[in-house]
Amino acid sequence: MSKSREAGRDENAGAGIFCIKKEYFMRWVKQTVGYWCEDIEQGSCLGNGVCAAILDTGICRHPDLKGAVLEFKDFTGRSPDLYDDSGHGTHVSGILAGRGVVSSGFYAGMAPEAELLVGKVLDHEGNGNVENVLKGIEWVKKCQEQYNVRILNISVGTQPDLGERQKKLFLDGVEDLWDRGIVVVVSAGNYGPGKGTVAVPGSSRKVITVGVPDTELPAVSRRKSRVNYSGRGPTGSCVVKPDVFAPGTGIISCNARYGKPGQHPYTMKTGTSMATPVVSGAIACLLSKYPDMSNVEVKLRLRESCVKSPGTEAGWGMLNVKNLMRA
């Protein structure tokens, strides 16, 4: 069990980050997925009233996430306080619901008014076991009514050599949450692009699986070649996956080490782990506009609103928020 192996080197966003042209990164992500629609620009549908659960490496006390966390629980230890000794979970949380406080909104997440329920199920290296993830899933079930949890983001996938019994337990767990009405959004994993490389639980027929298209990196990247790492279907049951695609390469979000000497507020990471909260955040915006939508209706709406583009032929297409929010 891991965060599906990062697809590229994580880069701490050093002093030069603030000289980067503003059309890139979170603004570039938002432009790519058609984020700037009337509902978003009016500020009326930014995830307000929506609670999203995240099972990952934890979350730190970053200024951009202040006030966003309703409850935190550590399944790898016994700490009652917010912490993230990996940084992965904080980065994911920032993409989904970061307020953008330090950057005056520039690096705000997709749904900056959403609230979070965060379970730490992975260790400082981003590794863990199915048992801890299942404990996290049970916790989300218990909290569902109390916090009106509408979304579960799992930017976590199993390694290919995991036993079949463990994979089945994981699949059963996420599908049980789906059956309880929660929109479960998971990453396709970074073991692609060969056929049958979608990581569990992204192979589930029910949940929404997010991949990254084969795309050019933003021009500021040190790498110039096309990126080709996202897990691909079909699954063992001949299910086409991923369902939806979103940017996940070179994404800048909250740095869990911010506050320590020499650390800046934002950092760069790459992987389907980063694309998943882009979709979860878009769904939070949708549910803030249509709070009575069921998870099945959300999935159908998402499928109908995607836009086919190069590198997304394996699924429905690229996420498009404007189409998603359209009445």
pLDDT of 115 reads 98
pLDDT of 327 reads 65
Q: Which residue has the higher pLDDT, 99 or 229?
A: 99
> Which residues are CB-contacts of 22 (< 8 A; sequence separation ≥ 6)?
106
* Mean pLDDT, residues 58-75 taken together: 97
Could you report the per-residue pLDDT of 136-175, keeping only the tens digit for each? 999 999 999 999 999 999 998 888 778 899 999 999 999 9
Assign 82 a pLDDT band (cuts: 50, 70, 90).
very high
pLDDT of 294 reads 98
* Mean pLDDT, residues 280-302 taken together: 98
Is 273 a known active-site residue?
yes
Percent of the chain's residues with pLDDT above 70: 88
Q: Which domains does the chain have, with CATH numbers?
A: 11-325 (3.40.50.200)
Residues, the chain: 327
Residue 255 CA to chain centroid, in angstroms? Answer: 15
Work out the angle between the directed axes of helices 295-305 and 272-289 (0-180°, nearest 10): 110
Q: Which residue has the higher pLDDT, 222 or 111?
A: 111
* Mean pLDDT, residues 118-129 taken together: 93
Tell me whether strands 11-12 and 266-269 are parallel, antiparallel or unpaired: antiparallel
Is 88 a known active-site residue?
yes
User: Which one of the listed residues 4, 93, 155, 273 is annotated catalytic?
Assistant: 273
pLDDT of 1 reads 67
Assign 285 a pLDDT band (cuts: 50, 70, 90).
very high
In angstroms, the CA 133 to CA 119 distance is 9
CA distances from 127 to 85, 286, 300 (A): 12, 32, 33
Identity at 141, one-letter amino acid code: K
Q: Which residue has the higher pLDDT, 2 or 125?
A: 125
pLDDT of 276 reads 98
In angstroms, the CA 75 to CA 270 distance is 25
Assign 251 a pLDDT band (cuts: 50, 70, 90).
very high
Whether 60 contacts 82, CB under 8 Å: yes
Is 56 a known active-site residue?
yes
| CA dihedral over 98, 34, 315, 148, signed as positive or negative | positive
Tell me whether strands 149-154 and 51-56 are parallel, antiparallel or unpaired: parallel
pTM of the model: 0.92
User: Which one of the listed residues 4, 64, 88, 305 is annotated catalytic?
Assistant: 88
pLDDT of 157 reads 84
Percent of the chain's residues with pLDDT above 90: 72
User: Which one of the listed residues 2, 4, 56, 74 is annotated catalytic?
Assistant: 56
pLDDT of 13 reads 39
* Mean pLDDT, residues 186-193 taken together: 93
Whether 57 contacts 3, CB under 8 Å: yes
Whether 298 contacts 262, CB under 8 Å: no
- For residue 211, the cross-strand partners are 245
* Mean pLDDT, residues 80-87 taken together: 95
Q: What's 297's DSSP letter?
A: H
In angstroms, the CA 198 to CA 171 distance is 13
pLDDT surpassing 90 at residue 217 = no
